[in-house]
Structure 1
């Protein structure tokens, strides 16, 4: 027995020694780098065609053509970083059915193992364009994600619809987009129409950067009002609703929105867009949104926005906030937030300016245009100040550090909001700019 135990021990030691001599695991070699973006024109114009008529299944059916200049390895991206969302949260999980063809033949594609929003194909000799077909499976219930299509309206975000080639700044990639809408739907977008044939509208060629900054609202129940008919640039309030009676308004309701435009011009002293479109959904069926763009904004308000005008005011500061972003955030933005492509990581360090200052001036414009009363605006400021008097997270975390929260938390629910802090650069940033404004007024004697 002792002899057997001795033999087993010797064998174990020998095996251990042999294992010790074997090399330990080492990192796999890095994946080949994807071509870096250059600020040069892309050789050709992309075409993107979206069929948005499948309201029953809430599926967008998409076709895209991407010109290619030569054979060999070619990489294209699905956008990852969401401008205005300040985070890498675009819905690639809802993109499905991707098929790539060229010259009538199907080409195999592979997803990059590191940058999973990037796709590689080998372009055969003689091929001048790639044809892509795929679907965007928009959420059918809230737990899956924000609902962007209902039986009576839709919110088409081009960021979710199209791919773009690697190796170029998105401002250098021209694209022609078209959309087929359900019968009876009317639409609004900052894009300019080239032609309309039946239910299909084709838009003028724009840079890919401009396309993704120009979403669409469309609906069965639609109304558009000119907010500055005598002004140098057309500004429209475009509305869709769950029911037609929700689009009935009084003159004083529209007058307040007209005043918003005039008060913004008086406050900022400039105008840098050729036209501007408020896109507003009066709905509890479409997913909530407040998102800025250079020449438009996506806004969701309550279905009784006009009907309950005298009963409450919650949500009426949304349009002033997003309108202000056209100046602060789109025309000008933090230097490290700007990126040459939609797959280059954004850095949010100046969000206390981008969002905090916008939150402040949005509050001011709400009052000056009578969307809110002066007292309602003052009460809102007082409530914000009281909140941060008791925000325990301020003991350990600066407001500047909260600018990382769009990336860290991605707006997920928090267990201990007061202690963890969230995107406090909005409201605590508002207080910074309130202090800056009053200080300037005090030091200049109101001049």
Structure 2
């Protein structure tokens, strides 16, 4: 047993270390584009017969592009842009496919009313990239308003779209028509489409791609499998121990094994859910807070009846004292399974604390709630429990009136107290307050 405890403590520590590492480091990786590493160039429509002129200046790790766009009938699409070459060849770029967003820290001033910029992350692929034809690089593009002095804007790469004219002009097949960032040799930042004239200044303070080192689901699956191995090892150990010490109790051992296996599967399913009680798998208080508010509102509006059962296991402390906490925990788990099997799918079973549980019944009036309470009380009393002894419960019932949820629960708790005071293994109803 000590070895199991040591292994458990060790895995808990390792799990916490992994989660802390993932929170602060594992969930973020960045790739920064700077003028020190890559070539920044200014481009305008003058090379295509236009009259626009631009200039670029690199200072203190920033790129300053100044531009005057001039309308010209000989070239109807005037523009200026800043081009960042990430490679000396258009066939070889950087793989950004494992990054999920780009952070653009750009200050933009312009005399033109259209204050948006176009950003193109150009991708290369043998299926469509042709030598000496830069327009054959895929246009993964987006247009946005960077503002001035607003800091970095985070843009998800999944929002980038491939320009339709590029797909049409290059006769691109469907498999290559979606955005792709697996081989990026060029990034372009250009004046907005439709700009015909004006003065512009684009200051690129920082460009950063951001992603994750390890996918969250992959990490959680790894932790889950580790804990599964620990749970299964513990089950095998307990099974061996029971066979040595309780050879005459084969039936109980088999039932406990089946119960533990069932609970293990449920705990694995709920291991990532913060709204489940770790011991029994029942919902906890936090899980039903918002739902209870909705139910209370439905009652206030007169749309439905709403009732609750406050359930307490009778003499549970004596069970722990006589049979030990391991058996007590088994009974709590089995108690939840028995009740869960005898309520509707839209009812809510909540572990309220210790051996106390609450069942919330929507669309249920007081008489229906009393009938269900009696049914549950009888099932509990006649069930064959894992320690081969009987178990009973006391139940307080209340239907919600024009009151708060906490007041209804308090009335059900008071009814439970009366049930226990009158001999236990009883159901007591608390009438709603007078309006």
Q: TM-score, normalised by structure 2?
A: 0.27
Q: TM-score, normalised by structure 1?
A: 0.26
> If you compute each CA radius of gyration, which structure gives the higher value, 1 or 2?
2
